[in-house]
A and B are shown apart, each in its own frame.
Chain A
Amino acid sequence: MAVVRNIQKLWGLGVGAIRQHAALRTSRVLQQRAFRLSGAQCQESFDSSLEKPQFPGASAEFIDHLEFIEPNVIAGIPVYRVMDRQGQIINPSEDPQLSKDTVLNFYQKMTLLNTMDRILYESQRQGRISFYMTNYGEEGTHIGSAAALDSNDLVFGQYREAGVLMYRGFPLDLFMAQCYANADDVGKGRQMPVHYGSKDHNFVTISSPLATQIPQAAGAAYAVKRENSNRVVICYFGEGAASEGDAHAGFNFSATLECPIIFFCRNNGYAISTPTHEQYRGDGIAARGPGYGMLSIRVDGNDVFAVYNATKEARRRAVAENQPFLIEAMTYRIGHHSTSDDSSAYRSVDEVNYWDKQDHPISRLRHYMTARGWWGEDEERTWRKQSRKLVMEAFERAERRLKPNPELIFTDVYDELTPALVRQRDSMMRHTQQYKEHYPFDLYEN
């Protein structure tokens, strides 16, 4: 409103005819402005103010010819990379210069996750756990991003981010306890395997419905902002989940409500069997960020340093500026979607092999370490053996453990048991005692 009034003061009210004439002229000038950004600024003070659109919904110039904005999908947003496939740093100024210990820790966490994946995947094939989802090929996105965060930054995940928990020191025993749903599971055996969560590690419990965590993470980030506590929230999701309405909600809310949050999209090419060209037609997920007014970047998800750098900078700025950041990590889902899926039904083995053998986050980091003399065959052999032993020991302990007490069906529905739930619990216990030979009581604690 004030702008309108100013314009009227400056130019007077009786210049309608001149104005009309000027309209044609300026809009012609403006056409060129759209494509010459730097030169445009000085044109402003000349005579464009009269002709500037006053619509509250957007800040833009008029244009006098019909032209649809074309999406830029052929030459998309570039993929930020720090080291090449042989582990060579490409641009020394981008080298995060991490210490040997830090890099060894990255490598060991990535490989430990890989070892755990192999053992739990096999255990599902043998029917020892009911379900599993591996992280093959995406280890770099987890470790690189987790390392760039503070340990009290709140994490919301989808289900393929076990490496974040691994990096934060979630014990192998508790990974196993959750998958086995035994009495040690902090989730009390209620959810399917890989639905991890840990209050101690600031990792919000995973749930199956896709993308629901995205607006939740925005809300948590808003609360964190009001706490004034130098924390951010990070929210992981796949490119398939980004099609959900909740993704739209979360992006838009976090931008309009100025939330310190990092949206981290794992674009691995597939949502179960659906390839990305059936998921979207724009330039991936990163290209949507600017549409919401979000700073966005695309990184090589198989380059742990690129992921680390992007997350580190996004974290720094999100905290300082209270605004959301979007990181799209390009990667490839090497494993099957889950143990209930055979991915050879919809993609070629050659394609999988390329990513497994030629461009893998673990082998790339190993090249980097080898080139520096930080890692050799001996270390590799020893660590493989040791990590396998750690996982197998935890695995065996988890398998031997009893399941939680069946009465835990009823607690935590509400903060307290309701009278109706007390009656239902008592009724179940009476019934199962009467028919106890038909129920697997020997496997459960009592």
Chain B
Amino acid sequence: MASAARLLLRSAAFKASVTDVYGGVHCNSVGISLLRLSPSCTLRLKTQKRHAAHFTFHSDPVPTKYGTTTKMNLFQSITSALDNTLASDPTAVIFGEDVAFGGVFRCTVGLRDKYGKDRVFNTPLCEQGIVGFGIGVATAGATAIAEIQFADYIFPAFDQIVNEAAKYRYRSGNQYDCGKLTIRAPWGCVGHGSLYHSQSPEAFFAHCPGLKVVVPRGPVQAKGLLLSCIADKNPCIFFEPKILYRAAVEQVPTDAYYLPLSQADIVQEGSDLTMVAWGTQVHVMREVANMAQDKLGVSCEVIDLQTILPWDIETVCKSVLKTGRLLISHEAPVTGGFAAEITTTVQEECFLNLEAPIARVCGYDTPFPHIFEPFYIPDKWKCFEAVKRMINY
């Protein structure tokens, strides 16, 4: 029952990703084709048209130190990282639901043809099996890159991730480990994903020693961080903001390169207020920082946390010591969200420097809704309002 519903939604999400997400036309394409059958479709389409995307992608400066670059969107940069890995590591295998034909988000296109069906293959539809299988591959010494089709469906594998993968090295006294396991999963809101194609489950995993949890903000970070996750000697969960798969386009080095884990990235320097976010929300924060500068004359420092666990306490605290104010924003619900962890740590480390209460602008404590998404997400206006309040505190 659940899987039947999921299959429907999977194809819907795939088709939606083929349509231009960046342009903000979030009409489900299945819906569009149905509407076209009715005579009044053009009219209906206009009235049904949703508002523009909640963020604007800011591309990074072209990286120069890693050799030649190619224009890639986020899904292509993932493919490129996987391609580099399969080329250099003969033990590496990629598996999951529907990865063989290229994946429902096109992240594995061409890899099966290039590297063989014993290295890029479909598994049965069973998430606990995928992660358990991946742990076994890694335990036997090979590189395992598992895909969970949506982060929303990672929970059946929660036991394998939390009780097994995360504790393998510790409980065996470092005799066995599954450090060569990386789990990739599409993550975050997508405009119309509703309850089970929108979730941001990073905080569930942040409470689990032994794991690394990483979220990139664009194609350059995605490739460099994914390659680091694959090379890292610990089990990593790599969440890919699916709304950026096609929307984010920039110049990405074609060769392998590695961006350090557990290191936050200061994407914009500032002096009055520190903003911390990850994934798509970094782009929202950049826009808010510009708004704050234009409308309030406030200089914001924007930090992309990049690694949720173990997170870069030093960079964040150093920034707050300088600015005295901290705003943290994530799409996931506020209660028990990872912002709570950052807040507490910063409050402990920077108590004397804080000039206003630390603000959290997050999703509400509800499931992720369908038609109400524009009201649910912590968009730039909610974040801007928080900045205003903090400055006037």
Please list the residues of chain A having a beta carbon within 8 angstroms of any beta carbon in chain B.
154, 156, 185-188, 190-191, 195, 197-199, 204-205, 207, 209, 212, 214-224, 226-227, 233, 245-246, 248-250, 252-253, 256-257, 411-415, 418-420
Q: In the complex, which residues 329-343 of chain B have their Cβ closer than 8 Å to any Cβ of chain A?
A: none
Bound-state CA distance A207–B168 (Å) is 9
Establish whether residues A204 and B176, one from each chain, have CB atoms under 8 Å apart when the complex forms.
Answer: yes
Cβ-based interface call for B222 (8 A): no
Establish whether residues A413 and B170, one from each chain, have CB atoms under 8 Å apart when the complex forms.
Answer: yes
Over the window 127-171 of chain B, the binary record of Cβ atoms lying under 8 Å from chain A Cβ atoms (1 yes, 0 no) is 011011111111111101000000000001001100110011111
B contact residues, total (Cβ < 8 Å): 48
Please give 6 more A-B residue pairs, beta carbons under 8 A apart, in addition to A190-B173, A216-B139: A156-B136, A187-B173, A217-B136, A219-B137, A249-B132, A414-B234
Establish whether residues A226 and B135, one from each chain, have CB atoms under 8 Å apart when the complex forms.
Answer: no
Establish whether residues A250 and B132, one from each chain, have CB atoms under 8 Å apart when the complex forms.
Answer: yes
Establish whether residues A209 and B164, one from each chain, have CB atoms under 8 Å apart when the complex forms.
Answer: yes
Instruction: Report which of B129, B144, B233, B310 forms a contact with A215, defined as CB distance below 8 A.
Output: B129
Chain A residues with CB below 8 A from B210, complex form: 413-414
Bound-state CA distance A413–B167 (Å) is 7
Stretch of B44-52, B118-126, B294-302 with 4 or more beta carbons under 8 angstroms from chain A: B118-126
Cβ-based interface call for B262 (8 A): yes
Chain B residues with CB below 8 A from A413, complex form: 169-170, 209-210
Establish whether residues B310 and A418, one from each chain, have CB atoms under 8 Å apart when the complex forms.
Answer: yes
- Contacts A246-B128, A253-B126 hold; do A216 and B171 have CB atoms under 8 A apart? no
Nearest 10 Cβ contacts at the A-B interface: A219-B136, A215-B132, A249-B129, A205-B172, A223-B140, A216-B136, A219-B133, A220-B136, A188-B173, A415-B233
Establish whether residues A415 and B172, one from each chain, have CB atoms under 8 Å apart when the complex forms.
Answer: no
Interface centre among B131, B160, B167, B173 (most CB of A within 10 A): B173
Establish whether residues B176 and A226, one from each chain, have CB atoms under 8 Å apart when the complex forms.
Answer: no
Chain A residues with CB below 8 A from B138, complex form: 219
Bound-state CA distance A215–B144 (Å) is 14
Bound-state CA distance A207–B178 (Å) is 14
Establish whether residues A246 and B129, one from each chain, have CB atoms under 8 Å apart when the complex forms.
Answer: yes
Establish whether residues A246 and B118, one from each chain, have CB atoms under 8 Å apart when the complex forms.
Answer: no
Establish whether residues B124 and A256, one from each chain, have CB atoms under 8 Å apart when the complex forms.
Answer: yes
Sample of 27 A–B contacts (CB below 8 Å): A187-B173, A187-B175, A188-B173, A191-B171, A195-B171, A199-B175, A209-B159, A215-B128, A215-B131, A215-B160, A216-B160, A219-B132, A220-B140, A223-B93, A245-B126, A245-B156, A252-B124, A253-B124, A253-B133, A257-B133, A412-B169, A412-B173, A413-B169, A413-B170, A414-B169, A414-B210, A420-B310
Bound-state CA distance A419–B172 (Å) is 23
- Contacts A207-B163, A223-B140 hold; do A216 and B135 have CB atoms under 8 A apart? yes
Establish whether residues B159 and A226, one from each chain, have CB atoms under 8 Å apart when the complex forms.
Answer: no
Nearest A-chain residue to B212, judged by Cβ: A414
Establish whether residues B126 and A248, one from each chain, have CB atoms under 8 Å apart when the complex forms.
Answer: yes
Establish whether residues A209 and B173, one from each chain, have CB atoms under 8 Å apart when the complex forms.
Answer: no
Instruction: Report which of B121, B169, B171, B313 forms a contact with A415, defined as CB distance below 8 A.
Output: B169
Chain A residues with CB below 8 A from B128, complex form: 215, 245-246, 249
- Contacts A187-B171, A256-B123 hold; do A219 and B176 have CB atoms under 8 A apart? no
Query: Shortest Cβ distance from B148 into chain A, in angstroms?
Result: 14
Cβ-based interface call for B287 (8 A): no
Establish whether residues B133 and A216, one from each chain, have CB atoms under 8 Å apart when the complex forms.
Answer: yes
Query: Shortest Cβ distance from B317 into chain A, in angstroms?
Result: 12
Bound-state CA distance A214–B160 (Å) is 11
Establish whether residues B176 and A412, one from each chain, have CB atoms under 8 Å apart when the complex forms.
Answer: no
- Contacts A190-B170, A412-B169, A414-B234 hold; do A212 and B163 have CB atoms under 8 A apart? yes
Instruction: Report which of B121, B140, B233, B262 forms a contact with A257, defined as CB distance below 8 A.
Output: B121
Bound-state CA distance A227–B141 (Å) is 10
Cβ-based interface call for B255 (8 A): no
Bound-state CA distance A233–B136 (Å) is 10
Query: Shortest Cβ distance from A255 into chain B, in angstroms?
Result: 9
Chain B residues with CB below 8 A from A221, complex form: 136
Cβ-based interface call for B174 (8 A): yes
Establish whether residues A252 and B170, one from each chain, have CB atoms under 8 Å apart when the complex forms.
Answer: no
Nearest B-chain residue to A154, judged by Cβ: B140
